[in-house]
Homo-oligomer: A and B are copies of this chain.
Amino acid sequence: MNTDTNTETMMRAVSQQTFGSADVLEIAEIPRPKPRPNEILVKVHAAGLNPTDWKHRSGHGFVDDLPLVLGWDVSGVVEAVGIGVATFAPGDEVFGMLSYPFGLGSHAEYVAAPARFFASKPRSVDHVQAGALPLASLTAWQALVDNAGLQPGQRVLIHAAAGGVGHIAVQIAKSLGAYVIGTASSAKHGFLRELGVDEVVDYRTEDLTERVQDVDAVLDTIGGDTAMRSLHTLRKGGCLVSLIPVGSADLLREADQLGVRALRMLVDSSRSTLETISGLVDDGALRATIAGTFPLSKAAEAHREGETNRTTGKLVLTMDE
């Protein structure tokens, strides 16, 4: 066996042979992908973790192929380009989100994917920061701007405002000139104030609909009862965007009766939105709070930490061991 050749054609990845707890995650040596036409091969420097990673790991996601390599967030360096790619060249620093949900696999040393899923990495930040942003910021932008149509001066209620998507959504809403009401446990209210939240609510001790009224948009990352009650905080014609795809029939019916809109969405890739995000980052208007970084080999530990739902901001895998 030629070891040199082998090193060049294989790579390490966080892989799983079965669905289950974080214990199913293992480091596997698998073939390094090759970029097909319109694809780029990216050497991953950092890759964010998102709640959808543990959902998929445990078999409650959309993807049922095994073995499975998780991960949609990427920040890294273009290693090679496939036929027809003119927008990037080897050596370019890029960040992006793989096609959600079926294009996953960024929790590895390399990933090959269509060039359209990537934009130039924001210049003012490192790979950890850039790798934390794509899925969370695309989600927040698509929820608040593309779907709720949030306008300057409008009022927005952001649930779990200290969480991965929430703390990014707060900053995007503020950059748009909105008035932001954020929910979190009291321990995180200081963090929310620092982010620029105008009004903080502890959803466990306060009555949401008594405290909050007449908002134009709600970002719901919690679902269930919280989503249902949040409908009652909206002005007529206001819009709740839910990232939780369950129980939506009841929610839609209730929204209809109240004269408000309720949408549920999944995040989707978009280079043009990534470019907007990148602009916000380089303008200093947007930063991911990094709750922790873990080397690839400690991915299981990172999952366990994330699943506590107690982290503030984002967890990120790095390739430096």
Question: Residues of A with Cβ closer than 8 Å to B?
Answer: 36-38, 62, 83-87, 99-102, 114-116, 146-147, 241, 245, 263-266, 268-272
Contacts and interface: CB of A to CB of B under 8 A. Distances in A.
Nearest to A87: B146
Contact of A266 (B83, B102, B266): B83
Contacts of A100: 37-38
Copies, count: 2
A62 B86 contact: no
Given A147-B87, A264-B84, A265-B86, A102 B36 contact: yes
Top 7 A-B pairs, shortest CB-CB distance: A84-B266, A272-B272, A86-B265, A86-B263, A37-B62, A86-B147, A116-B268
A40 to B, nearest CB: 11
A84 B38 CA distance: 26
Contacts of A268: 38, 84, 114-116
A87 B289 CA distance: 29
A102 B37 CA distance: 9
Nearest to A62: B37
A24 B87 CA distance: 36
B87 A62 contact: no
Contacts of A86: 147, 241, 263-265
Given A36-B62, A62-B37, A116-B270, A83 B147 contact: no
